[in-house]
Structure 1
Amino acid sequence: MSGPGAPGSHDYRTVASREIFDGRVVRLRVDTLTMPGGGTADREICGHDDAVAVIALDSEDRITLVRQYRHAVGERLLELPAGLCDVEGEEPLETGRRELVEETGLEADSWEPVISIVPSPGFCTERVHVFLATGLREVARPEAEHEEADMSVERMPFADAVEAVLDGRIVNGIAVAGILAARAMTARS
């Protein structure tokens, strides 16, 4: 079925928008949208900077992960080195380079895009760019603060990281998507 009224044919328009919070990491607003069949509905939107995550893969086929406390879930999660694209004018690749050094004390010679994801499109604007970094070398890691000061760096065979995703030891959504996508990408080459 096509034409007016067919699924996917409605033009959603924002007819009103009001900001309710503007914080350091998130911004919250309520948008009023036109709905199929007439009328409007409110949608709560969390504005969030885009982010970058890095699959840092060494010459021994080990992935570098960080274990970080995440207060929202009250757990220390095994994650990819990652960070917000919050420096004006900085491209995602440069953010990835910066975050890899800040969180792990590693630099990489080669960078390849793996996948871009929208982790929570039902309410959040965030888009995450995942890169594969190879040709790793250790460099000085800058002084960390807040939760990052308590973050540990761990290396794990890539195959074990895939198993950790599948058996629930790695549950961070960005890490899950990034690890599985990078494994599929490296298996093709």
Structure 2
Amino acid sequence: MIMAMTKMLEIHDTYTNNHSKSVAEIATKIAEHMDISKEKTKEIYWAGIVHDIGKTIIPSEIINKKGKLTDEEFEIIKKHPIWGYEALKNSEELKDIANYVRYHHERWDGNGYPDGLEGEDIPLIAQILTVADTWNAMTSDRSYRKALPKEVAKEEILKNKGSQFSPNVVDAFIDLLENVKLEYNLGRSNA
């Protein structure tokens, strides 16, 4: 089931497919570094793989747009966590990760979407996905911009610690980058 869903995503948007695999790898490394159980670490891997599955509903003209999105287009993009959640919630094998998919764009300060959750109300796995997702998005070429230098992306993550991101997850991620020597380009996709 998961592989069929990811194949649909790959057909619809090559960047998102590569991005999803990278997010799954990065999130798994963060979870392992935070000593999260093997069961939950497995869940985070699969949540990373399908976190953007709701984008299959978004028209490819919006997904692959070269320029800045209009406000209306961004409102459509912001629906993909809900669409992903809806696709997963009734599946016996995927229902446990449905909420992580729904909440992967929530912000620590409550200014995220779709539900405006904040702080510890956001499931830890979703908090980890948020950091992994953002890191990979910043350090990868996109249809509308080139990848940011790794040091710039790292500073952006640090700058948003406690506002966009969980402080504990950022600390674990930065420790991976600096002390465990996580490859800075882990998960980098240039599709």
Which structure shows the higher helix fraction?
2
Which structure shows the higher strand fraction?
1
Larger Rg, first or second structure (1 or 2): 1
The interval holding the TM-score normalised by the smaller chain is: under 0.3
